[in-house]
């Protein structure tokens, strides 16, 4: 496995290797866990050359966010990636990606980026689409892998790729969870043992919605209020949003007539976590 830290070397590596080969790409912010590894494994199966980027992207963190404290451990990540047969880790510095005077941003406008995470974290998706547009240009992948844990992000990236006519296939993959249902996330490492226990309330709230729907409840307001009641019962949790939405458009639904996406964001102590579940 190679470690590449600058854009020029990354570009020439791909050019040299690419002839007729499928390049798979898994963009991450590092601190790799089984969720990331599920994308890497799928990418390994489907690609001739597999590139994983590790870059904690400052432009997607809101002011006062956890950019500085975000967990970083390149050495450990490289060990995990190497064991999965990754060909290249692309781990540029912030200066390599955003040199002094940098001023270009890529933004998907409209509903998709203005609700849920877009509403709670203004500027977040602008940072995400900017870094991905840059990484796609640098790595030139044929396929790129995203986790449904960040469901809205996967939809936003799909829109970015369509709108900019990028010749890249977006492959979404299911959320990997701990035994008790908590979705794996690099941010779980912030949780104290008590918070870690409390954090399962997010997944439990999604299961509550699933049960409601299975019981024939169709009114989205009733479903969300059951979810909210459950989360409010957990003293360490503070709800950011609970939403019952159309999985394609991300518009809120009033009645559950077909498949819906149930999404939740909450703070557990100081740590903001998100989760979602598609319910057929
Ligand atoms: P991040 O490092 O948090 O930016 O995530 C990098 C990629 O891994 C994104 O596509 C995430 O959606 C995906 N990912 C993160 N957590 C999980 C998980 N628990 N299951 C599946 N994919 C995940």
Domains and CATH numbers, the chain: 2-173 (3.40.50.620), 186-272 (3.30.1300.10)
Element at 276 (helix H, strand E): strand 271-279
Which residues are within 8 A (CB) of 79 and not within 5 positions of it... i.e. 6 or more apart? none
Task: For the chain, give the longest Cα–Cα distance.
Answer: 57
Q: Are 170 and 150 in contact (CB under 8 A)?
A: no
Q: Mean pLDDT for each 10-residue chunk of the chain (280 residues)?
A: 97 91 98 98 98 98 94 98 98 98 98 98 98 98 98 98 97 98 97 98 98 98 98 98 98 98 98 97
Q: Whose CA is nearest to atom 13 of ligand 1?
A: 147
28 CB within 6 A, ligand 1? yes
Q: Which long-range contacts link 207-211 to residues 24+ away (Cβ below 8 Å)?
A: 207/181, 207/277, 209/244, 209/262, 209/277, 209/279, 210/262, 210/277, 210/279
Atom of ligand 1 nearest to the CA of 177: 19
53 CB within 6 A, ligand 1? no
**Of 31, 33, 36, 124, which one is the catalytic site residue?**
36
Atom of ligand 1 nearest to the CA of 186: 3
147 CB within 6 A, ligand 1? yes
**Helical ranges in 117-183 per DSSP H:** 117-120, 124-139, 151-163
Residue 18 has what pLDDT?
A: 87
Q: How far is the CA of 13 from the centre of ligand 1 (A)?
A: 26
Active site residue 36: yes
Q: Which of 200, 213, 223, 180 is nearest to 275 (CA)?
A: 200
Residue of 27, 31, 33, 35 best suited for mutating to test ligand 1, as the one with most atoms within 8 Å of CB = 35
Single pTM value for the model: 0.97
What is the C-alpha to C-alpha distance for residues 89 and 3, in angstroms, rounded to an integer?
Answer: 5
């Amino acid at each position: 496995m190679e470690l590449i830290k600058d854009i020029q070397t990354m570009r020439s590596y791909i050019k040299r290797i690419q002839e007729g080969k499928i390049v798979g790409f898994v963009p991450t912010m590092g601190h790799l866990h089984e969720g990331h590894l599920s994308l890497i494994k799928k990418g390994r199966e489907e690609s001739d050359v597999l590139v994983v980027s590790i870059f904690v992207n400052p432009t997607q963190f809101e002011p006062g966010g956890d950019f500085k404290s975000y967990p970083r451990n390149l050495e450990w990540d490289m060990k995990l990636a190497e064991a999965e047969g990754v060909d290249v880790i692309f781990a540029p510095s912030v200066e390599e990606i955003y040199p002094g005077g940098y001023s270009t941003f890529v933004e998907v406008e409209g509903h998709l980026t203005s609700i849920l995470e877009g509403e709670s974290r203004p500027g977040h998706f602008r940072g995400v689409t900017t870094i991905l547009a840059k990484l796609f240009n640098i790595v030139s992948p044929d396929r790129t892998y995203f986790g449904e844990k960040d469901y809205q992000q996967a939809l936003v990236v799909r829109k970015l790729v369509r709108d900019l006519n990028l010749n890249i296939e977006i492959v979404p993959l299911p959320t990997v969870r701990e035994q008790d249902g908590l979705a794996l996330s690099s941010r779980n490492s912030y949780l104290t043992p008590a918070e870690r226990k409390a954090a399962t309330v997010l997944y439990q709230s999604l299961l509550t919605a699933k049960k409601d729907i299975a019981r024939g409840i169709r009114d989205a307001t009733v479903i969300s209020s059951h979810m909210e009641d459950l989360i409010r019962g957990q003293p360490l949790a503070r709800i950011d949003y609970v939403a019952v939405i159309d999985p394609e458009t991300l518009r809120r639904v009033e009645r559950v007539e077909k498949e819906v996406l149930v999404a939740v964001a909450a703070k557990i102590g100081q740590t903001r976590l998100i989760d979602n579940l598609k319910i057929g």
